[in-house]
Structure 1
Amino acid sequence: MKFTVFLSGLLLIFLLPDRTESVEDNTVDINTLARIINFFEQNYKRGTEKNPHQYATAINVPKDQCQQNFNLNTFLTQENGANVKNDINDEKKALYQGAELIAAGTKKDVDEQKFKMHSEFLLLNPPNNSPMTNLLNKRKEDSCSVFYTFNSPCVKTCLNAMGCHNILDALENWKKHPGIKAFVFKNFWKFDTKKDLQNDFKQIVAHVPLFRCVSENECYACNGEGDTAIDAHCLPLPPKNTNIEL
């Protein structure tokens, strides 16, 4: 911060410390984010390459782990990958809670055997006492919190503000947490691939920054704040026009 004073024809300039954080200090490095998501995929992914299964993870780590000086050798060293996978693949439990990481698969609903509770719901609800709440409470200063879901949150339940399984109240609580924040997805939920998700994804952006990471070298900031549009890389491809003019 620069403070300028004119005195008897002399220009005096005082440099005062700028106590406000720069945007860069409070924003995830997108190349580092790609490496983090790739770590999740390499260590916790459910199913196989040909038949992957839905899962979600969240971390709350020191801020520098989300910036350019990211060090894989010191990342999530308190977590055991085998334990994570065992817990999230158990459909009766479907939940892992560690020191800096939480993760979930899908859980069979006791009352409705055909319905599976989504991994996002398992990590984010109930909003005031969820695994995510407990994780965020472990580190409140100089932190970076990243939530990753393999498939985008579904419109019908997760992003339905009127539904009992939505995650929007939880995102509102997360918004209040200090530090770097990133909500990330890779693929589009299979029943939403033909929908216009612009307004649905804006519900996420209203609370936390949204990203899409499709490989270890390819992540996109979805943007969408205020009146700006969600980036095309974060939306399903529009349906092809199959009409043929003769």
Structure 2
Amino acid sequence: MTQYFYDKVQPKTKKGADAQYALSIYLPPAHCVDRNAKIEKKFDNVQAAQVKALLNNHTKCELCTEPKNVIASRTVLTSENKVEHSEHVLLYPVGKSLMDKLLAEARDQSCVVFYSYNSPCVQTCLQSADNILEGLRNWINKRKGKMNAFVFQEIWQKDMMDKNLETEFKKIDEIVPLYRCMRNRKEMECRKCVDNNFVDPFCLPKEK
């Protein structure tokens, strides 16, 4: 699934670098437990291209595909000239967010995945007044006991030296299971980040 996101949806900056964005999708449970499940059957190439085009144009996907199973956004500049990070865009305002609209469409027997290209930044997404934790709780409170996952690929570059990253990742995992999927020789390797209060080094910056 995450390889498909990278190959088919990943937006680019003007300089051609991978741009930060967040996407959430609901799928049949098999797509979250069976590596052989084909996401193209629920989010095909045409729909993925549609989402990518919107993101490259700095426009949000608000249930923009025909199945109404995807939302996505890049970081945006608000009317007050404030930067709103992509994860926050999808999760707020609580109760009226794009995530709330997605969850209203999702069936009870489904898997909801929240994907962010970069890990949520510590300073804004996890520690500031604009943190995303309440938004995550709102999501899980509506889907208690169901299949949910928060997935990131890269570690936000400004957090590469943050000594509190383990603590912050635990905060997320306490609410929703946190995973990292990282490209390794053009293939995605995914692991759960926290188990028994231990953070897998796979989810942290490599020690130099």
* TM-score, scaled relative to structure 1: 0.73
Paired residue for 1:166, among 126, 131, 135? Answer: 131
- Aligned to 2:123, the other structure's residue is in SS state coil
**Structure 1 residues 28-107: aligned runs within 5 Å:** 36-47=1-12, 51-68=17-34, 70-77=37-44, 80-91=47-58, 93-98=59-64, 99-107=68-76
1:126-137 aligned within 5 A: 126-137=93-104
Q: Deviations over 1:133-184 (max 9, x none)?
A: 1111212411100011000001111112x51x21101111222214211101
- Tell me, which stretches of 5 or more residues in structure 1 are unaligned? 1-35, 241-246
The structure with the largest alpha-carbon Rg is 1
Aligned letter for 2:55? Answer: I
Residue in structure 2 matching 1:198, options 166, 184, 193: 166
Percent identity, aligned pairs only, is 35
Aligned-residue offset at 1:78 = 9.6
Runs of 4+ with >6 A deviation: none
| Equivalent position amino acid for 2:53 in 1 | N
Structure 2: where are the runs of 5+ without partners? none
Aligned length: 197
Q: Which residue in 1 is equivalent to 2:191? A: 220
Among 107, 119, 122, the residue aligned to 1:152: 119
Question: Which residue is 1:211 aligned to?
Answer: 179
Preserved contact between residue 59 and residue 145 of structure 1 (Cα < 8 Å): yes
Counterpart Cα distance in 2 of 1:104 and 1:73: 20
Corresponding residue number in structure 2 for 1:229? 198
**Aligned position for 1:122:** 89
Deviations 1:42-85 (A, max 9, x none): 11101179611101111111212222251244132496223212
Cα contact 2:60–2:71 (8 A) shared by 1: no
